[in-house]
Amino acid sequence: MLRENLKEKLDELNDEQVEKIADFMAFIEFQSKQVASSLPFWQKATPSDRAREFREWVSQLAKGSPSLSEEAFDRDSIYEE
C-alpha cells in the first residue's frame, strides 16, 4: 500500500523534485554504508571469519616465548600465608 502511494506521488512530481529525491536516496545509501563500515570487525564478521582471524593472529605469536612457571598456575600462590 505504501509502495503504491509513493509511486503515485513520484509520478506527480516534476523532474527537479525527482532529482532531489534521488539525491536524498543516494545520501541515505551512503550513510548506511558508512555505518556498516564503522562497525568493528567482530560485529560484522561471520563466526568462521572470526575463527580464521584468530588463528592468523595466534600463528603470528612468538613460538619460543617462555611459559609461565608452575607456581603461577598454582591457586595457592595467590593467597598470602
Domains of the chain, residue spans = 2-60
More confident residue, 2 or 44: 2
Rounded to 5°, angle at Cα 69 from 65 and 74: 140
CA distances from 8 to 1, 5, 19, 33, 65 (A): 11, 5, 16, 29, 70
Query: Which of 42-57 are b and which e, b meaning 16 or more Cβ less than 10 Å from the residue's Cβ?
Result: eeeeeeeeeeeeeeee
Q: Is the dihedral of CA 14, 17, 23, 29 positive or negative?
A: negative
pLDDT in tens, 16-65: 999 999 999 999 988 887 776 777 888 888 999 999 999 999 888 888 77
- What pLDDT score was predicted for residue 43? 84
pLDDT at 81 over 70: no
